[in-house]
Amino acid sequence: TKVIRTEEENFARTIDGGLRIFNDMLAEHQAKGEKTFSGADAFKLYDTYGFPIDLTIEMVEEQGMTVDQKGFQQLMQEQKERARKAREALGDLGWAGVEFGKDVPETEFVGYDHTTIEDARVVALVVENEQAEELMPGVEGIVVLDKTPFYAEMGGQVADHGVITAGGTVFTVTDVQKNKGGKYMHYGKLSGGVLKLGDTVTAGIDVKRRKAVMRAHSATHLLDKALRTVLGDHVHQSGSLVEEDKLRFDFTHFSAMTAEELAQVSAMVNEAVLEGYDVHTDVLPIEEAKQRGAIALFGEKYGDTVRVVDMGEGYSVEFCGGTHLDNTAKVGVFHIESEFSVASGVRRIEATTGLASLEVMNRNQEMLFQAAAALKAKPGELREKAVQNMEELRELRHMVEAFKAKEAVSEAGQFLMGAKDVGGLKLVTATLADADADRLRKMGDFLRDKSQAVVAVLSAVRDGKITFLAVCGKEAVQKGVKAGDLIKHVTAICGGKGGGKPDSAMGGGTDVLKLDDALATVDDFVAGKLGL
């Protein structure tokens, strides 16, 4: 029920937003006397605002018009072409969609059990998208081995890094991709020696990095379990990214998680870590795996046999081809950094494990000690000290505001004493140094309330912009001198505009050099209104 209601509300918001844009577009077409609603506008409504084309057609027909559906379809096709070209621009992951030929065998992955092997054979080399016989020093390329301990990027897990060596030859691996034919392509750069086709090499991964990735991947499975337990069985994984002690987990859920739910999920994952569950992996027939309750990714294709990762003998059982710890205790501290929406009905959690979590904790602790030192308090007294300081700050601000108001009134009183008499009205013009709009208003209110015959124009310059305030007392307004007219007059001279009520008006200007000229014209403006 919640899912359906959320979808309905979201669609209603889309329609409401689209309707406003549609009405503006329709008015433009009608103003031009057009009977056809352009395909470009229909496409913009659909593509940018999510407004269904069927609804656009129906509403346009109600107005006795038609939609240029041919133009709309053409723009849709162009968008598909752009998307296709964008995918092509990403490349095909360096031969990810191209076969090397029957002579190049499928790579055997031995990385579940080995971090280094000494008898791998170079079966293919690629330089500048062309197969090569050898790789020279300083050249970037792709190396394909008959077997490898390097995990290729897939299933949301990033690829292993490391080196491929043979004597003085060193090829530094910075990425690994697996193509459709099962070849593991090691991307990198040769820093020394010459690597030739057929060479026997030693392939070793960065073990420290692999362990950090495994901590994050095993934590992802524990997070999935916790989310299902706390939120419900409707939760399904819809994407993930597993990096060094960092993870990103997308899941289906209809609303933002509450602070309490996030706390429950975090506590449940960390409890599973503290329990120290053993992690076992088995390759099983898919039906047997399902009988054991293994969770499969929705939409993922599986073969006759699958790799199953079991944590705690049934606590968490999932289909997974990634690398994992042998015990959940090695995850270390699990820390949720954020939870937010990435699409309708899809949420995302970003979290850290192991060393990354320790870094966050250490950084937060350091900030806590620094804040405590700055406030001259013990860390445990920080909250009370901060509250006390904020209360003192509020009191000081009130005192400063009161002082500023008193000062503004005093200064305004001096202006009134030196006012110029024009036809029985008291005329005041002044420029205040570094005053803000609030200060101008306080002074203007004082002048207007103090004298019914006052006509005042106050100005202030900040950051190259002029702020004007005009006020007129009751007597001045009765004689035809209105603040709204006066502010329009002075702001126009300074390249600006303004407006307001007869007794008070504000405006702005940009030409500071003409400020004095503008104020000098106030005398004549008032005299003109009085018929003098």
What is the mean pLDDT of the segment spanning 85-113?
70
- Strand positions, DSSP E, 9-157: 36-37, 66-67, 108-109, 116-127, 130-132, 134-135, 140-145, 147-148
The strand pair at 184-192 and 169-178 is best described as: antiparallel
pLDDT band at 90 (very low <50, low <70, confident <90, very high): very low
Residue 300 above 90 pLDDT? Answer: no
Per-residue three-class SS string for 183-196: CEEEEEEEEECCEE
Residue 86 above 70 pLDDT? Answer: no
Tell me the C-alpha distance between 119 and 166, whole Å.
10
Residue 460: left (phi > 0), alpha (psi -120 to 50), or beta? beta
Reported as a single tens digit per residue, the pLDDT across 155-186 is: 899 999 999 999 889 999 999 999 888 899 99
Residue 456 above 90 pLDDT? Answer: yes
Reported as a single tens digit per residue, the pLDDT across 394-430 is: 999 889 878 877 777 777 788 888 889 999 999 999 9
Q: Which domains does the chain have, with CATH numbers?
A: 2-89 (no CATH), 108-205 (2.40.30.130), 212-359 (3.30.980.10), 408-530 (3.10.310.40)
Residue 152 above 90 pLDDT? Answer: yes
- pTM across the whole model: 0.63
Give CA angle at 198 (196, 200), nearest 5°: 95
Q: Which residues on neighbouring strands pair with residue 421, listed in sequence order?
A: 426
In the block, residue with structure tokens 């007597």 = 475
Tell me the C-alpha distance between 164 and 200, whole Å.
10
Residue 147 above 90 pLDDT? Answer: yes
What is the mean pLDDT of the segment spanning 197-209?
96
What pLDDT is recorded for position 88? 58
- Strand positions, DSSP E, 227-299: 237-243, 246-252, 279-285
Residue 97 above 60 pLDDT? Answer: no
Token pair of 11, please? 């669609």
What pLDDT is recorded for position 419? 87
Reported as a single tens digit per residue, the pLDDT across 215-233 is: 999 999 999 999 999 999 9
Token pair of 189, please? 């750069």
Tell me the C-alpha distance between 276 and 218, whole Å.
12
What is the mean pLDDT of the segment spanning 181-195?
92
Tell me the C-alpha distance between 431 and 406, whole Å.
18
Tell me the C-alpha distance between 14 and 495, whole Å.
41
What pLDDT is recorded for position 301? 67
What is the mean pLDDT of the segment spanning 64-86?
88
Residue 286 above 50 pLDDT? Answer: yes
What is the mean pLDDT of the segment spanning 502-510?
92
What pLDDT is recorded for position 89? 52
pLDDT band at 9 (very low <50, low <70, confident <90, very high): confident
What pLDDT is recorded for position 115? 96
pLDDT averaged over the chain?
Answer: 90
Tell me the C-alpha distance between 126 and 116, whole Å.
23
- Whether 96 and 185 have beta carbons less than 8 Å apart is answered as yes
What pLDDT is recorded for position 92? 43
Give the residue, 48 or 335, on which the prediction is more confident.
Answer: 335
What pLDDT is recorded for position 298? 54
What is the mean pLDDT of the segment spanning 235-257?
93
Reported as a single tens digit per residue, the pLDDT across 335-391 is: 999 999 988 889 999 999 999 999 999 998 999 999 999 989 898 888 899 999 999
What pLDDT is recorded for position 222? 97
Residue 94 above 60 pLDDT? Answer: no
What pLDDT is recorded for position 516? 92
3-state secondary structure of 301: coil
- Whether 252 and 235 have beta carbons less than 8 Å apart is answered as yes
Q: Which residues on neighbouring strands pair with residue 125, listed in sequence order?
A: 132, 143
Residue 76 above 50 pLDDT? Answer: yes
